[in-house]
Amino acid sequence: QVQLVASGGGLVQPGGSLRLSCAASGLTFNLYFMRWYRQAPGKERELVAHIDSVGGITNYVDSVKGRFTISRDNAKNTVYLQMNSLKPEDTAVYYCFAVRPSNTAYSYWGQGTQVTVSS
């Protein structure tokens, strides 16, 4: 059974930092692209960051470029999202997502972790 367990969310002041983690189990982690999505209240879920299976290619939504960094440790089956210079508009539930590029039918969501940026 595939599980993606996200952690690291919380309440932080504007300008602060958080590091999200997503631990995967039940899949061959190094065969999967990993992504972080977020969903704010009343808004659609949006793709925040993407990393390929070996960590060589990353992509970000424009609103987080230069502030967020996605990375992965294939030995630990974990993907991370380092979030710096946080803004109130970053407030959302953050979800990790795994997708196998050779067969996108193999895709899985984590349970989400709340990030709140407020003074």
Residue 55's pLDDT is 82
Given this model, what pLDDT does residue 56 score?
A: 86
Mean pLDDT of 47-76: 96
The pLDDT tens digits of the residues spanning 17-50 come to 999 999 999 999 999 999 999 999 999 999 999 9
pLDDT tens digits along 9-21? 999 999 999 999 9
- Alpha carbon 62 to chain centroid distance? 15
d(CA 96, CA 79): 8
For residue 97, the model assigns a pLDDT of 98
Pick from 9-18, 54-63, 76-85: least confident: 54-63
pLDDT value at residue 107: 95
What Cα–Cα distance (Å) separates residue 105 from each residue in 6, 8, 101, 108?
A: 22, 28, 9, 9
Of residues 80 and 54, more confidence is placed in: 80
Q: Supply the mean pLDDT for the chain.
A: 96
